[in-house]
Amino acid sequence: MSAPVAASVLPRLQVCGLTTTLVQRDGQVPLVRGVSFDLHAGRTLALVGESGSGKSLTALSLMRLLARNASWQCSGQALFTDAAGQTRDLLQLPDGEMRQLRGHQIAMIFQEPMTCLNPVLTVGEQIAESVRLHLGLGKSAARQRALQALEQVEIPAARQRLDEYPHQMSGGMRQRVMIAMAMVCEPQVLIADEPTTALDVTIQAQILALMSRLQRDTGMSLLFITHNLGVVAHHAERVAVMYAGEVVEHADVHALFAHPAHPYTQGLLACLPGRARQLSLKEGRRMALQDIPGQAPAMNRLGAGCSFAERCASRMPQCSLQAPAWQGDAPQGRACHLELRS
């Protein structure tokens, strides 16, 4: 633990070279490879990429919630600086101290609420449990705090819902409960792992607007994990693009959409229906929706070169032989052999 520093000087969360390795009988498989990013107070960083690119595993590594039925090794640094300016490495904290931070100063919204909420406890009890544990409130005060949390996320008839079970609620309601549970202790860092994936577009818009309002009200930092680039364009200030367990591009959201630098990022944006429509208007003829050929590589069979080389239309001989170095001023830039043009 370091000496206190002015909280505004340091990023709220500074991740440096995070590597998460699955240890198997026949060898070790690195699933998150040297991920680095900064998350500042009151700001939103989007972590994007295809399914299987390592986004969720990065979040679970930071939260120290990796599956217990497997053997893992984590290295690197995840420096969390609280409002008082105290900095701690999340990867090195004793389990007891990490439990005190998790759910209190650092919280997470998981992908699927139906599998994360306890089916035999009322939603009010599940929210109040966190309040009693982290804030030390009594049973009555914790229940009142849980009610306020449900009202804050705009659940209708919140007092009635307090005593209902997860199966009695719709998907949108359960997602709001997950947000209430994560926000009830007013965390400084919130990790939202695809919180709107299973929701229809109307409820999705409501949930995103709710999270934006809560962020403005509390000043929390938000790490938003998604594969929906449309959501990223409207709700993030910075974007880190992941592929095969590593960050391949990091940029300001406006720069990334206007001038994507990495071939993988260019491919992701080309897959958007809006891009096909723009090309159709530009070319004066109907343009087909593009896709990225091939599939992401198996993490236990990565070669020595660029992990995207086999799917890249701009690949060169050296791409298959040597891993690309980072180009640009960290953290902004990309990992690619192609020359970076300004």
- Of the pLDDT bands very low, low, confident and very high (cuts 50, 70, 90), residue 7 is very low
Q: What are residue 12's phi and psi, to 5 degrees?
A: -65, -40
Helical axes 171-183 vs 201-218, angle rounded to 10°: 10
**pLDDT at res. 3:** 45
pLDDT(115) > 90: no
Gyration radius (Cα) of the chain, Å? 21
pLDDT(264) > 90: yes
124, 146 in Cβ contact below 8 A? yes
Instruction: Give the Cα separation of 61 and 74 in Å (integer).
Output: 7
Average pLDDT over every residue of 166-185: 90
| Lowest-confidence pick of 138-152, 159-173, 328-342 | 328-342
pLDDT(135) > 50: yes
Average pLDDT over every residue of 325-332: 83
- Report the percentage of the chain scoring pLDDT > 90: 61
Average pLDDT over every residue of 178-195: 92
DSSP 256-313: HHHS--SHHHHHHHHTSHHHHHHHHHHHTS--PPP---S-PPPGGG--SS-TTGGG-T
**Cis omega (within 30 of 0) for bond into 156:** no
Which residue do the tokens 């609620």 mark? 169
Average pLDDT over every residue of 130-138: 94
**pLDDT at res. 278:** 61
Average pLDDT over every residue of 290-294: 85
**pLDDT at res. 286:** 67
Instruction: Give the Cα separation of 188 and 307 in Å (integer).
Output: 34
pLDDT(282) > 80: no
pLDDT(1) > 50: no
- Collapsed DSSP state (helix, strand, coil) of residue 162: coil
| Lowest-confidence pick of 27-31, 216-220, 318-322 | 216-220
**pLDDT at res. 276:** 56
**pLDDT at res. 279:** 58
- Of the pLDDT bands very low, low, confident and very high (cuts 50, 70, 90), residue 2 is very low
Nearest to 212 by CA among 200, 224, 194, 227: 224
Task: List, for residues 69-94, the tens digit of each pLDDT value.
Answer: 899 999 999 999 988 889 999 999 99
Nearest to 338 by CA among 324, 328, 320: 324
Instruction: Give the Cα separation of 2 and 89 in Å (integer).
Output: 9
pLDDT(265) > 80: yes
44, 107 in Cβ contact below 8 A? no
Each domain of the chain, given as residue ranges in start order, spans: 106-184
Q: Is the dihedral of CA 118, 20, 256, 321 positive or negative?
A: negative
pTM of this prediction?
0.90
Which comes out higher in pLDDT, residue 242 or 205? 242
| Lowest-confidence pick of 45-49, 167-171, 330-334 | 330-334
DSSP 210-232: HHHHHHHHH--EEEEEES-HHHH
pLDDT(275) > 80: no
Instruction: Give the Cα separation of 132 and 123 in Å (integer).
Output: 14
Buried b or exposed e, range 217-243, using 16+ CB within 10 angstroms: eeebbbbbbbbbbebbbebbebbbbbb
- Report the percentage of the chain scoring pLDDT > 70: 92
Question: If you count them, how many residues does the chain have?
Answer: 342
| Lowest-confidence pick of 18-27, 110-119, 229-238, 267-276 | 267-276
- Of the pLDDT bands very low, low, confident and very high (cuts 50, 70, 90), residue 210 is confident
**pLDDT at res. 88:** 95
- Cβ partners under 8 Å of residue 215, min gap 6: 42, 44, 190, 222
Average pLDDT over every residue of 16-44: 94
Tokens of 87: 């900095």
Instruction: Give the Cα separation of 311 and 309 in Å (integer).
Output: 5
Which comes out higher in pLDDT, residue 292 or 64? 64
pLDDT(4) > 50: no
Q: Give the chain's mean pLDDT.
A: 88
